[in-house]
Amino acid sequence: MIIGSVSENKDTEKRISVTPDNVKKFISNGFKVYLEKNYGEHLDINDEKFAVNGAEIFSNKEKIIKESDILLQLNLPDEDDLRILSPNKNLIGVFDPEKNKNIISKLSGNKINVFSLELLPRITRAQSMDILSSQANLAGYKAVVDAFSFFNKAIPMMMTAAGTIPAAKVLIVGAGVAGLQAIATAKRMGAIVFATDVRMASKEQVESLGGKFLVVEGSENLETSGGYAKETSDEFKKKQEELLTETLKKIDIVVCTALIPGKKAPLIIKKEMIKVMPKGSVIYDLAASQGGNTEFTKADEIVDMEGVKILGDSNLLNKLPISASNLYSKNLLNFVINLYDKKNNKININLEDEIIKKTLVK
């Protein structure tokens, strides 16, 4: 049984799906591993580091795609590469099924099994495979670090003979995995941290990290059974706007993390709200690639709105590609092991397994 992976488009994706450590683990589970030449060179991981752990390196990408029983990627390969895939092969990654519905439907029609891991159910058994959590953790940390680098004042309170510098005040919008990591990071760096979320269940988590939770009336009803935030009503949005507008008058840095799976990011911070923020404030929008949580977010651009800087990356994890790859590749390893019937050396598409059923896209 062959595990394969080919290089991503490095202009948009610097993470890799297989690391040298995981090559060793795949081989110990009975797989062969095929990788494209210079697969990790851009991360200073040369082919020798993969080969010494047992990977076979090929300059012929077509051979890898043709012969691999399981192809591990981050993004959906381009159409020329997908044409090479033959029936009963397995493609695993993060493929945005809503956006790529037609392509995936065609693959499924050709008897190719497509697994998209952002669809994993939020159950205990799936935690080691949860790519959204592993990547969001890093994104929450990096968003705070980047936002602080654009802020022209010190973050912690400093008492000096020349006077006292007050601590920066930070607001985290959305207290999911990324938001909680952002709170923890900002607190460690000495900021005073506030947070808001439509799910009241987040209150205890925010407060356990030292943040102050801002309560919007009606929050307790806005969580799905899967643990995600629901889309809010117009009445709730109005109450949220009033609370945020008042809070933003004293906030130096905002980190937005609010996303609804499979939909455009909710618009939370509007022009009139930005106007009340102190000049020199910074907003980092982690939802930039899905339209943004502010009215003026532009992915990969810094927008200056009346003295407030608004920024966000289309792929923030390209700034932490080694750490992100290490976590992502472990998620993939755990998913493959769950999918693999080692005794009979075959892939077992067991649709009674909730993990397999939810991630298999047709």
Residues in contact with 135: Cβ distance below 8 Å, sequence separation at least 6, in sequence order: 317, 324, 327, 328
CB-based contact 178:261 (threshold 8 Å) = no
Question: Which range of residues forms the domain containing residue 274?
Answer: 136-318
DSSP string, 278-300: PTT-EEEETTGGGT-SBTT--TT
User: pLDDT exceeding 90 applies to what percent of the chain?
Assistant: 86
Torsion of CA 261, 304, 179, 292, to 10 degrees: 0
Q: Does residue 252 lie in a domain region?
A: yes
Q: Does residue 165 lie in a domain region?
A: yes
pLDDT of residue 362: 87
Burial class of residue 186, CB neighbours in 10 A (0-12, 13-18, 19+): buried
Residue 221 confidence (pLDDT) above 80: no
Q: Residue 291: count other Cβ atoms within 10 Å of its Cβ.
A: 16
Q: Does residue 128 lie in a domain region?
A: no
Place of tokens 């058994």: 125
Both 32 and 101 in one domain: the answer is yes
Burial class of residue 24, CB neighbours in 10 A (0-12, 13-18, 19+): middle
CB-based contact 266:232 (threshold 8 Å) = yes
Question: pTM of the full predicted structure?
Answer: 0.91
Between CA 266 and CA 272 the distance in angstroms is 17
Closest CA to 73 of 335, 289, 349: 335
Closest CA to 23 of 51, 43, 60: 51
Both 194 and 280 in one domain: the answer is yes
Both 250 and 162 in one domain: the answer is yes
Residue 223 confidence (pLDDT) above 60: no
Between CA 230 and CA 223 the distance in angstroms is 5
Both 312 and 341 in one domain: the answer is no
Encoded tokens for 143:
């968003």
- Our count of domains for the chain comes to 2
Of the candidate ranges 24-33, 163-172, 252-261, 310-319, the one whose mean pLDDT is the lowest: 252-261
Most confidently modeled of 1-15, 260-274, 340-354?
1-15
Both 328 and 311 in one domain: the answer is no
pLDDT of residue 232: 66
Between CA 177 and CA 132 the distance in angstroms is 9
Both 272 and 151 in one domain: the answer is yes
What are 240-251's pLDDT values in tens digits? Answer: 889 999 999 999
Q: Any bridge partners for residue 171, and if so which?
A: 194, 254
Mean pLDDT, to the nearest integer, of 76-99? 93
In angstroms, the Cα distances linking 246 to 177, 252, 344 are 26, 13, 62
Both 36 and 174 in one domain: the answer is no
Residues annotated as catalytic (active site), given as ranges:
122, 127, 130, 133, 228
Radius of gyration of the chain (CA): 22
Both 222 and 348 in one domain: the answer is no
Between CA 360 and CA 338 the distance in angstroms is 13
pLDDT of residue 225: 54
CA 310 to chain centre: 20
Q: Are strands 346-347 and 340-341 parallel, antiparallel or unpaired?
A: antiparallel
Encoded tokens for 16:
């890799």
For residue 54, name the pLDDT band (cuts at 50, 70, 90).
very high
CATH number of the domain to which 308 belongs: 3.40.50.720
Question: Phi and psi dihedrals of 148, rounded to 5?
Answer: -65, -30
Both 101 and 194 in one domain: the answer is no
Residues in the chain: 362
pLDDT of residue 192: 98
What are 321-339's pLDDT values in tens digits? Answer: 999 999 999 999 999 999 9
For residue 227, name the pLDDT band (cuts at 50, 70, 90).
low
151: DSSP letter: -
Both 224 and 350 in one domain: the answer is no
Q: Does residue 125 lie in a domain region?
A: no
Helices (H), the chain: 20-28, 47-51, 61-67, 79-82, 101-109, 131-149, 177-188, 202-208, 234-248, 271-275, 321-339, 354-359
Q: Does residue 29 lie in a domain region?
A: yes
